[in-house]
Amino acid sequence: MAAISRDEVAHLARLARIEMSSEELDHLASELDQILHAVDRVQEAAKDNVPPTSHPLPLKNVTRPDVVVASLSPQDALSGAPASDEQRFKVPQILGDAE
């Protein structure tokens, strides 16, 4: 027996205000039936002695320690820029009038 009928799919389509042809309803009913059967099989596998998990393997977040290192000076950072002004990159204006 099907887990979801064609009439139930048609009802859901009406609720969602989705127009579906007869062929689409038949196809979607079959597809949803297969999906629901697959969900049933997964639920059968989830027994009481199996703890719920978000991942089958234990995960450990791998991070590196924060180490303070010297960064570029403003002069070094701007050394390759075509134009700069007051220790900032100078670029052509792209929005509205300059204030």
Q: What is the pLDDT of residues 24-36, one digit of tens each?
A: 999 999 999 899 9
What integer pLDDT is reported at residue 98 of this predicted model? Answer: 61
Tokens 């100078």 found at? 90
Residue 99 pLDDT > 70: no
Q: Per residue in 62-91, pLDDT tens?
A: 898 999 999 999 999 999 999 999 999 999
CB 89 within 8 A of CB 81: yes
Round to whole Å and give the CA distance between 40 and 36: 6
The pTM for the full model equals 0.43
| Better pLDDT: 48 or 11 | 11
DSSP line for 72-90:
--HHHHHTT-S-EETTEE-
Name every residue whose Cβ is closer than 8 Å to that of residue 32 and which is 6 or more positions away in sequence. 3, 4, 9
